[in-house]
Amino acid sequence: MSEAISVLNGATFRGAIEITEAGLQGMITLRGDLSGKALHTAVKSATGADMPDIRRITTGDKGCVAWMSPDELLLLVDYAEADAITAALGKALKGEHHMATNVSDARALFRLKGQGAREVLAKGAPVDLSSQAFGIGDLRRTRIGQLAAAFWMTDAETFEVVCFRSVGVFLFDWLCVAAEEGTLPEFL
């Protein structure tokens, strides 16, 4: 069997900010009643994280939980553990209306780091990225350019962006062009 590789195998660009393809990342789509006790317990067991509020991401000792829609979460876990965690979620939620799917190999994850990261994203995302409107732990499921993506802020100068793997190379290239030296308006 072949060895898994990420979409760009850890490629990095350094311009006005640093953009890195984050490598293999376990990702599980979990759909169900987000107010249900069984789902809360299963998510906490899988990640150590609390349930996120609307358009937020929470972090635990075993992973992160991102709110994606009123009935959908994205769990970010260790890549090697994603299948086992997906199976454990299925067992924990047996009898509950839910769907747990390992989407790790269908997604790409990028890290944007630097003072101008807000401005790079603002070039293509219809989101208010001012520091007053978007802070650490905030998440948006939106578009960057014309590509479906979600992003969140992990610290004062770092964003993580997830998209479909099939458009990962295109998004990386788009982000690199948007992050060229001398192209940031320095408005945000």
Tokens standing for 159?
């964003």
Q: What is the pLDDT of residue 165?
A: 98
Residue 76 host element (H or E): strand 72-77
- Return contacts of 161-165, CB within 8 angstroms, 24+ apart: 161/109, 161/110, 161/111, 161/112, 161/121, 162/27, 162/74, 162/107, 162/108, 162/109, 162/110, 163/107, 163/108, 163/110, 164/106, 164/107, 164/108, 165/7, 165/105, 165/106, 165/107, 165/108
Q: Where in the chain is the domain with CATH 3.30.70.1520?
A: 26-105
Q: What is the pLDDT of residue 187?
A: 87
The pLDDT tens digits of the residues spanning 137-187 come to 999 999 999 999 999 999 999 999 999 999 999 999 999 999 999 999 988
Q: What is the pLDDT of residue 1?
A: 60
Number of other CB atoms surrounding residue 120 within 10 Å: 29
Fold (CATH) for 12-23+106-178: Gyrase A; domain 2 (3.30.1360)
- pLDDT over 90 at 25, yes or no: yes
Q: Where in the chain is the domain with CATH 3.30.1360.120?
A: 12-23+106-178
Options 3.10.450.50, 3.40.309.10, 3.30.70.1520, 3.50.50.60; which CATH number does 26-105 get?
3.30.70.1520
The pLDDT tens digits of the residues spanning 60-111 come to 999 999 999 999 999 999 999 999 999 999 999 999 999 999 999 999 999 9
Give residue 2's pLDDT band: very low, low, confident or very high (50, 70, 90): confident
Yes or no: say if 25 and 109 are a contact pair by the CB < 8 Å rule: yes
Total-model pTM = 0.96
Q: What is the pLDDT of residue 188?
A: 83
